Amino acid sequence: MAHEVRAVVATAKGEPVRVETISVPDPGRGEALVRVQACGVCHTDLHYREGGINDDFPFLLGHEAAGIVEAVGDDVTDIAPGDFVVLNWRAVCGECRACKRGRPHLCFATHNATQKMTLDGVELSPALGIGAFAEKTLVAAGQATKVDPAARPEAVGLLGCGVMAGLGAAINTGQVGPADTVAVFGCGGVGDAAIAGARIAGARTIIAVDLDARKLELASSFGATHTVDASQVDPVEAIRELTGGFGADIVVEAVGNPKVFEQAFHARDLAGTVVQVGVPNPEMRIDIPMIDFFGRGGALKPSWYGDCLPSRDFPLYTDLYLQGRLDLDAFVSETIPLDGVEEAFHKMERGEVLRSVVVIEGSA
């Protein structure tokens, strides 16, 4: 039996998103049907609707979600109906080259649902293989990670993408430790999570960089020890000044902009690390003197999903949240209904929110 549910669809490049009734199949082998309770609006959803990721319209948007497992297909053993889960876009295969080398967080063949959700018979492309701005969605069972049901869905759902990407950019990819100086460019949901991660990891100095004073104020509340308004001063110079003239040990780029990447590159100390978590579009190029790449040493590391392993990291950060050591609630700027996503994109562009979170009525 297919389920007819309301969902947010992007039908064409740059067109406003619409709430449509889509068809979601019952779970087949290895799949799970999840009743979505909450789903955050991530900048990556906007990248999809702008055609910046690929042209596989129509997209079913939404991918930072928590909900309740409603049904599972054959051969699903890790989750059962009634479980509280956070959805992930890294259901590792266990069999690819990366998994076999003991690096499942780099899995090259992650699982998604095999069956397709459809709109008027047309197959939808779910954002990041999830598609959770919907009353129900169909995922691979490995995409649903059980966490402590005491957690608030609006808050822990954000671990499903942006907040995990930021935490992991600092903790997993950047390997921030207690003596480190850290700078984070871009203080949206992802950058602020990198700041929170650097604080959890015990960084000594955490410098937040943004063009928007409101964002810098929020960054301080997540743990930034210093702020730099890049609309007023040269951020590379400012970071050098704040780090004894040297530059930061780890610089996180959480904007997705080649100019910012170059600033991050030059704001590093010798042998420092740049972690790039902002998503570029296919036209972007970076121009860095090769002699500087070589001469300064260190590492330039892209960070997909904060190099997280959902089965390890989602329960961990949910516990830190429930213990009051990671304020996931502070990322939730507002809760909105399904038909508020287009307006939420505009609020994101105007810099008014960290995360607007869709809450599906009657799903609790």
Ligand X SMILES: NC(=O)c1ccc[n+]([C@@H]2O[C@H](COP(=O)([O-])OP(=O)(O)OC[C@H]3O[C@@H](n4cnc5c(N)ncnc54)[C@H](O)[C@@H]3O)[C@@H](O)[C@H]2O)c1
- Residues lying near ligand X in the complex (CB under 6 A) are found at 42-44, 47, 161-162, 165, 185-191, 209-212, 215, 230, 254-257, 260, 277-279, 303-305, 348, 351
Residue (96 or 299) nearer to Zn ion, CB: 96
Give the shortest CB-187-to-ligand X separation in angstroms.
5
Selection from Zn ion, ligand X, none that 107 binds (CB < 5 to 8 A by kind) is Zn ion
Give residue number: closest CB to ligand X: 188
Stretch that binds Zn ion, among 9-17, 136-144, 160-168, 268-276 (CB under 5 A): 160-168
Q: Among candidates 16, 7, 8, 12, which has minimal Cα distance to 51?
A: 12
Q: Among candidates 110, 145, 114, which has minimal Cα distance to 128?
A: 110
Q: Tell me the residue ranges of DSSP E strands in 11-143.
A: 18-24, 31-40, 59-60, 64-72, 84-87, 118-119, 122-123, 125-126, 136-140
Structure-block tokens of residue 181: 């100086």
Give the shortest CB-279-to-Zn ion separation in angstroms.
9
42 near Zn ion, rule: CB under 5 A: yes
Q: Which residues contact 35 (CB under 8 A, 6 or more apart)?
A: 67, 68, 69, 70, 135, 136, 363
Residue (5 or 164) nearer to ligand X, CB: 164
Residue (136 or 268) nearer to ligand X, CB: 268
How far apart are alpha carbons 144 and 69 in whole angstroms?
Answer: 8
96 near Zn ion, rule: CB under 5 A: yes
Residue (57 or 304) nearer to ligand X, CB: 304
Selection from ligand X, Zn ion, none that 96 binds (CB < 5 to 8 A by kind) is Zn ion
Q: Are 247 and 274 in contact (CB under 8 A)?
A: no
255 near Zn ion, rule: CB under 5 A: no
Structure-block tokens of residue 154: 């609006």
Residue (9 or 187) nearer to ligand X, CB: 187
Structure-block tokens of residue 171: 């903790």
Question: Interface residues with Zn ion (CB under 5 A)?
Answer: 42, 44, 93, 96, 99, 107, 109, 161-162
